[in-house]
Amino acid sequence: MNTHQITAVLARAALAVALLISGCATPSSPTGGPRDEEGPTIVRTEPETGTTNFSERSIVFHFSEFVERSSLPQAIVVEPDIGIEYELDWGRKSVEVVFTRDIPDSTTLIVTIETELRDTNGNDMASSHKTAVSTGSEIDEGKLFGRVIDAKTGEGNEDQRILLYREPVDLTRTANYIASTDTSGSFQFEYLSPGRYKAFWVDDRNRNKIWEPAQERAQPFSREFMELAKAGEDTLGTIFVTAVDTTKPVLQGVGLFSSRRMRMRFSENIQLTDSSALSVTDTLGNALAEAVPLYIPPDDPFVLFAHSEQALSESQSYSLDIRGIVDEFGNGAAGYSQTFTGSAQEDTTIQRIITRNNLTGYYPTDTVEVIYAKPIEASTIRDSLKVVEGSELVESWQRVEIRDNILKIAPDSLWQENLDYELRIWDPIIEDYRKLQPRIWNRSQLGRINIVAEDTTKENIVLQIRNEESDIRRDTVFTGEAEIGSLPAFNYTVIAYRDQNGNGQWDFGQVSPFRAPEPYFIQREVPVEEGMTGDLTISFSR
């Protein structure tokens, strides 16, 4: 064989390999033109949804464009779960779902393509698609509706999973049906046969359609079972899903900027409390010095800066005893089991203002707290304070206190109504005054909310009103009606629940054995206007 013949043979072999590879891989769309930002759609199916007397073993889906084939196995759902396996046979822009055995008689089979399916540009389907066929003379038409709401925010929860079992219920097996919520938190089961059903929300992390109590949370609806007639429709109601976090924040590391200044990094966002404290200990656990928690940087809420009262030697190892540092769920930080080494570096931190408390406003009796980068030692900061009260300059304000790195400025008795205040506070980093003009919420500017429970009983209603931005919270317990006053003119989130077992907390129920959730209510954006009383009616819908 000469050189030209060898070259021709190799070229044909390379072409054959290329064709083989292209036949197995996901086809791709032509390049060029505007960027594709729309997901695929299903343009038709064979047979059409609603087909009866179906006797075939396959359903074909035709797509509007090339899809990423590897995304389909996670996106396809066959219901009810009757143990029939299937295979996928791909065309260019289509896929045939081929069942390995016959579908039982008088069965409505639903094949859903969920939004996990994406095109070759990575765009997901905008909405799921259901195709239902029946091996009998009619197709089941029962429907169940519901909604999943975040119990903390009041917003609909997207992509939440609801498992639905038809009696007899065996929670150790995969659910007969599954539904996912849309952007509003709504979901719907369709093509259901008559019967008795049990539904619940589950944090189905591994997407296997089974509730695994050891590692997955679940919450029930207010009714354990729903009876569905032929072609009947009913609502499961609203389920309020609450996050439950019992994991303690973990101190992941301690860095020393100097022999006294520490930077502590936690595994999650943290908060300081009135009891926050740090003790530096030796390797045997003996207390050596206290460390002052200074501040949590606004842009890094998982970081805490602290100041040791004694220098920490570079020749010694230390550990920490942590108290009163919590996450947003109130879980206290775990003990720190590691050690860190001191430093010989002198503290070069430049004193400066970090932030102040209550940025949105102050009640007439509130104290303004200005937080500095390190403990305030120089008298300059305190002695240079000036307050402009109305048009009068007060050179020496009497009610001033320094605690560690916090400058506290309190009113004589009250910040006076109808007077504007300007606090001139020395900032060493700029060697000049920072002029703070705190907003004072005077009595005439505050409003009220009158709360009325629509369905009155003798059970206590626990009421919570909050505005996260201003960190305003009100808590009370009432039976039929309550008025909450002294509220600045903001929008508030109102949460209420019937404390049926009297334990002082909302119980979201239990799937098995079944225990209904306590009636719950949440409404966002409840307005309060200056000097006005607003009305709000609470209705506990099931």
Task: Go through the domains of the chain in sequence order and give each one's CATH number.
Answer: 42-134 (2.60.40.1220), 142-241 (2.60.40.10), 251-341 (2.60.40.1220), 353-436 (2.60.40), 446-538 (2.60.40.1120)
- Can you tell me the distance from the alpha carbon of 237 to that of 529, in angstroms, rounded to the nearest whole number? 33
In the sheet where 421-427 sits, what is the strand order?
392-394, 386-389, 421-427, 432-436
Whether 467 shows a pLDDT value over 60: the answer reads yes
User: In this structure, is the dihedral angle defined by the CA atoms of residues 208, 214, 217 and 222, taken in order, positive or negative?
Assistant: positive
Given a contact cutoff of 8 angstroms between Cβ atoms, the answer to whether 428 and 468 are in contact is: no
Displacement of CA 134 from its chain's centroid (Å): 40
Average pLDDT for the chain: 91
Beta strands in 221-270 (DSSP E): 226-228, 233-241, 251-256, 261-266
Whether 469 shows a pLDDT value over 50: the answer reads yes
List pLDDT tens digits, range 240-256: 999 888 889 999 999 99
Whether 208 shows a pLDDT value over 70: the answer reads yes
Whether 33 shows a pLDDT value over 80: the answer reads no
List pLDDT tens digits, range 60-119: 999 999 999 999 998 999 999 888 899 999 999 999 999 999 999 999 999 999 989 999
- Nearest C-alpha neighbor of 176 from the set 81, 76, 78: 81
The backbone torsions φ and ψ at residue 14, rounded to the nearest 5 degrees and listed phi first, read: -65, -40
Element at 409 (helix H, strand E): strand 406-409
- Nearest C-alpha neighbor of 98 from the set 108, 107, 87: 87
- Can you tell me the distance from the alpha carbon of 368 to that of 407, in angstroms, rounded to the nearest whole number? 8
Whether 24 shows a pLDDT value over 60: the answer reads no
Integer angstrom CA distances of residue 186 from 126, 145, 180, 235: 15, 8, 8, 11
**Which residues partner with 353 through β-bridges?**
372
- Can you tell me the distance from the alpha carbon of 368 to that of 409, in angstroms, rounded to the nearest whole number? 5
Range scoring the smallest mean pLDDT among 207-216, 282-291, 412-421, 457-466? 282-291
Pairing between β-strand 161-166 and β-strand 195-202 as defined by DSSP bridges: antiparallel
List pLDDT tens digits, range 376-390: 987 889 999 999 999
SS3 call for 443: helix
In this prediction, residue 147 has a pLDDT band, given cuts at 50, 70 and 90, of very high
Q: How big is the chain by its Cα radius of gyration, in Å?
A: 32
Higher pLDDT, 288 or 283: 288
How many other C-beta atoms lie within 10 A of the C-beta of residue 41? 15
- Can you tell me the distance from the alpha carbon of 191 to that of 383, in angstroms, rounded to the nearest whole number? 77
Integer angstrom CA distances of residue 170 from 15, 164, 197, 205, 541: 55, 11, 12, 20, 29
Q: Would you state the pLDDT for residue 536?
A: 96
How many other C-beta atoms lie within 10 A of the C-beta of residue 176? 22
- Can you tell me the distance from the alpha carbon of 408 to that of 425, in angstroms, rounded to the nearest whole number? 11
Given a contact cutoff of 8 angstroms between Cβ atoms, the answer to whether 346 and 364 are in contact is: no
- Can you tell me the distance from the alpha carbon of 384 to that of 198, in angstroms, rounded to the nearest whole number? 70
Whether 9 shows a pLDDT value over 70: the answer reads no
Whether 466 shows a pLDDT value over 60: the answer reads yes
User: What average pLDDT score do residues 181-193 get?
Assistant: 94
Rounded to two decimals, what is the model's pTM?
Answer: 0.79
Beta strands in 2-79 (DSSP E): 42-46, 58-63, 76-79
Range scoring the smallest mean pLDDT among 2-6, 306-310, 534-538? 2-6
User: What average pLDDT score do residues 167-186 get?
Assistant: 93
Q: Would you state the pLDDT for residue 459?
A: 84
- Can you tell me the distance from the alpha carbon of 239 to that of 243, in angstroms, rounded to the nearest whole number? 13
- Within 8 A by CB and 6+ apart from 105, the residues are 135, 136
How many other C-beta atoms lie within 10 A of the C-beta of residue 39? 19
List pLDDT tens digits, range 332-375: 999 888 899 999 999 899 999 999 999 999 999 999 999 999 99
Whether 528 shows a pLDDT value over 80: the answer reads yes
User: What average pLDDT score do residues 289-313 get?
Assistant: 95
- Can you tell me the distance from the alpha carbon of 441 to that of 460, in angstroms, rounded to the nearest whole number? 32
Q: What one-character DSSP code corresponds to residue 528?
A: -
